[in-house]
Amino acid sequence: MNERQLLMIPGPISFDPAVLRAMSIPTDSHVSQEFVDLFGQVLDDMLQVFLAPHGYPFVVAGSGTLAMELGLANLVEPGNRVLVLRTGVFGERFSDIARRQGAEVDEIVAPLGEVPDVAEVEAKLASAPYKVMTATHVDTSTGVAVDVKALAALARKHGALSVVDGVCATAGMECRQEEWGVDVYLTASQKAISVPPGLALLVASERAIEAFRRRKTLVRSYYADWGKWLPIMESYRQRKAAYFGTPAVNLVYALRVSLAQILAEGMDARFRRHQRLSDGFKAAVAAMGLQQVPARPEIAATTLTAVYYPDGVGAELLKKVADEGVILAGGLHPDIKTKYFRVGHMGPAGPSDILATVGAIERSLKALGYAVELGRGVEAAQRAMGV
């Protein structure tokens, strides 16, 4: 890719140079004391980023889908009931994983661009003894964000464990895992955590670990079994070497740098910065006369924006914007895949990235014949971000 291109997709994102440099150093032994100390610090830092000081952190080589499986496979046994809340493509993935564990799966599918009705969720939880309820904090396919705090409280009220996919939210959208009572919060490295792809990350609550220890059947996934990984993570946190599977050493180096940057910024400040960038980009979208996939502003994610193409314009917009030096993502949800595009604004992104992206979109829309006033979107973004 041309070095001058600006990557503004919902992951992988553009990474800080210090994070990339950490990946380029010579690979150390995964049982050397230096690496063990570093990995232990990573696990301690994760608890601060997830705002779960008494949680159980896991870092495993793999993708966000592995993180989802790590979350569900260890809590679900054959015959358990699982309630899946779907706000896009990735809720379906939770259902598939739960069924492979032998669970009886019920779903509440929100209308496209909406979130599940809270009263419906509570009624469903009250109707049967659910072992687990899953939710997707931000569904990358729709840009819709759910109220994790309210949903986790409902799950706990009705005796269910809450498993939340934070892949496109963690370290970008507010989630106070321990305070809100989220039992498993999971993510992948390549989004707001700001590390190249390859790490599955999650933090489990003490309640989730106790439920795992009470299970009566073997975990159906060998690689995802907490019984294999928990002693490793506990040893690293005690700064002792341990082995089950070889960790992604250089990615862990990079994660150490990124987590330190995140904590130096501060979680509250980081949440506010992502909100500011989101406000700026969404103000520009409105100023250009474009519509978003989320039905209401209050349920729109702060880490990405899903935008409908205007009449007469389609995927050719992405090519035009790429020619302007900015890379955007096409649609993902099968029902509207050709009707919208997605823009990521998370991690190290700043106001200048938002303004460059908006300008590229404006010029590209103009070139494709859409009636847009050049500079109007940029001006709206500047006002919203205070720059």
Residue 41's identity, in one-letter code, is Q
Q: In tens digits, what is the pLDDT along the chain, a chain of 387 residues?
A: 445 699 999 999 999 999 999 999 999 999 999 999 999 999 999 999 999 999 999 999 999 999 999 999 999 999 999 999 999 999 999 999 999 999 999 999 999 999 999 999 999 999 999 999 999 999 999 999 999 999 999 999 999 999 999 999 999 999 999 999 999 999 999 999 999 999 999 999 999 999 999 999 999 999 999 999 999 999 999 999 999 999 999 999 999 999 999 999 999 999 999 999 999 999 999 999 999 999 999 999 999 999 999 999 999 999 999 999 999 999 999 999 999 999 999 999 999 999 999 999 999 999 999 999 999 999 999 999 999
The pLDDT value recorded for residue 3 is 55
- Farthest CA pair distance, the chain: 64
The pLDDT value recorded for residue 201 is 98
Q: DSSP readout, 288-343?
A: TT--BSSSSGGGB-SSEEEEEPPTT--THHHHHHHHTTEE-EE--STTTTTTEEEE
The domain limits of the chain are 6-11+267-385, 17-264
Closest CA to 296 of 194, 183, 184, 145: 145
Asked if 67 contacts 187 with a C-beta cutoff of 8 angstroms, the reply is yes
CATH architecture of the domain with residue range 6-11+267-385: Alpha-Beta Complex (3.90)
CATH number of 17-264: 3.40.640.10
Please tell me what DSSP assigns to residue 155: H
Measure the CA–CA gap between 162 and 208, rounded to whole angstroms.
9
Question: Which residue matches tokens 């847009």?
Answer: 372
Its pTM stands at: 0.97
Residue 162 backbone dihedrals phi, psi, to 5 degrees = -100, 130
The pLDDT value recorded for residue 241 is 97
Q: Residue 187: CB partners within 8 Å, gap ≥ 6?
A: 64, 67, 165, 166, 167, 169, 170, 171, 193, 201, 202
Residue 352's identity, in one-letter code, is S
Give the full edge-to-edge strand order of the sheet including 304-308. Answer: 304-308, 340-344, 329-330
| 6-11+267-385 and 17-264 share one fold | no
The pLDDT value recorded for residue 1 is 40
